[in-house]
Structure 1
């Protein structure tokens, strides 16, 4: 339960299938939390209702009055116009078109509200409260269904002219590679995301190359990156090779990031990064083989410390710093 002297904030991480909310103090201590389906397939109005319900549940779990909250931060999937508080559209949020999400939630909750892309918010969370604490130059990359990222320069989030910087999943690694959801071909996302790994798994099954994976699919349904990882753990060499190849592509991208940004630490989150050492170990080997010596020196490549709470805690940091005049 919160003491009366704490500054408290609400935060919501909105995804296509789930939304997570928290109530936390300005130091990143979570006092209440909630997780529920976002029901994005049911349209905007339903999602908005779920967001408010989730925040109310987190307030109740924290055992505080809603009036104690000093602001609300939203980390949203998809492209975000953080300056205007608008979600222009996102594949994960069907039917959304230039939705003024910050304004709508501010009107419904009565709280000052800020909006960021979910990966950008997670980068800020890791820098303030997680694996990037104390660094001045940090990259955050989420390797999940898609690939996103955030950039910390001189201890502050770098957003670029429109707040859209950090699309680290859309560097092109193979101009003749598979099509990407962004419209290009051969992006990191199309080669090493959870979706790309699952597609490679389906190809293995089509070619009869993975009896272990075939058994898992028969028992559990469509192939996922998590299923591929389980098959690899069970000794499926074809699945292991898919993870090694994806890790290699990720390492090629990491080498470019190292050469361009000269970071102290690279924090990797998302389900693919959590799926054992095979993927990240290969990425590290390739990065170290391909990056230039000077910027590579001293770089730490680590897993996320905050896990699923990176986005919400990043928005807590954003709201707290906005009050202090730092954001």
Structure 2
């Protein structure tokens, strides 16, 4: 297998670039703010500049690009990712190949994260894993019997849109009661602002973020209510996924997964509520790659494409 790949991770708030070797080790990495309101051209210019700095004198064999969907991985086109307003039909693979001079591969970021943790992280000793990333959104991916599941149009793995509260809150996808509508950081903040606007007594303020809500969960009634509700929904989702896929490992990633109690709550939910033979197999683990899983996975997939 070729020695290294550039890996680009295009998020709502950050751009990250890593140089990843064939074992999934991150040799160099840098990140910067996305500033998505600047528009695709300006954001991509910052991304290419970041990639060139990380590449340095190296000549990577390929470029892996991780981004949320919807996307068309076969055509290498972003079809209007929900976290990137205005990015409609951006030919990201062609643009990367023209600027960086190496063959490029596009993959959904959560699917890339699942592959990264499977190949080089918390599930490296397993044959199957389910991956959930809990941050501004709620994404997921699955590897079963050593194969990454991506779906017919490479947009599969939208595990955050499993309904856990039928008829509940409206989700950004248009349905009601999706796990993402309760667990995602943007949704936590939205619920907090709704309660504040309705006159709810709370120490939370209008500029609160999801980390702040989690941090105040032991000291503020509204924060406790929102955070407990999020953990309950995440536990329900995790149990459903463990029952459906029977993975050896359920990996939890993303900024909110670092908050005290999240991994433990999900672990307890799976241990108590998953079907007995299945819960004896599955273990719940915090991601080992510390937020780099999408980049690592994208880099490894790109290397596998060109080997």
Q: Does 1:117 align with 2:100?
A: no
- For residues 158-307 of structure 1, what are the structure 2 equivalents within 5 Å? 158-206=149-197, 210-213=201-204, 217=205, 222-233=207-218, 235-277=219-261, 279-307=262-290
Greater helix percent: which structure?
1
Cα distance, 1:201 vs structure 2: 2.5
Q: Does 1:314 align with 2:297?
A: yes
Given candidates 50, 55, 69, the residue that maps to 1:78 is: 69
Q: Normalising to structure 1: TM-score of the pair?
A: 0.88
Q: 5+ residue gaps in structure 2?
A: none
Which of these two proteins has the greater Rg computed from alpha carbons?
1
Cα distance, 1:320 vs structure 2: 2.1
Cα distance, 1:210 vs structure 2: 4.9
Q: 1:318 aligns to what SS in structure 2?
A: helix
Q: Deviations over 1:249-297 (max 9, x none)?
A: 11111121111101100001112211111x3333333333332112221
Cα distance, 1:212 vs structure 2: 3.2
Contact 2:202 2:222 in 1 (8 A): no
Residue 54 of structure 2 aligns with which residue? 58
RMSD of aligned alpha carbons = 1.9
Contact 2:169 2:176 in 1 (8 A): yes
Residue 47 of structure 1 aligns with which residue? 43
Q: 5+ residue gaps in structure 1?
A: none
Q: How many residues align?
A: 307
Cα separation, partners in 2 of 1:38 and 1:199, compared to 1, 3 Å: closer
Residue 108 of structure 1 aligns with which residue? 99
| Cα distance in 2 for residues equivalent to 1:100 and 1:254 | 34
Given candidates 125, 136, 139, the residue that maps to 1:134 is: 125
| Cα distance in 1 for residues equivalent to 2:192 and 2:85 | 27
Given candidates 20, 24, 31, the residue that maps to 2:27 is: 31
| Cα distance in 1 for residues equivalent to 2:110 and 2:280 | 26
Which protein, 1 or 2, shows the higher relative CO under an 8 Å CA cutoff with sep ≥ 6? 2
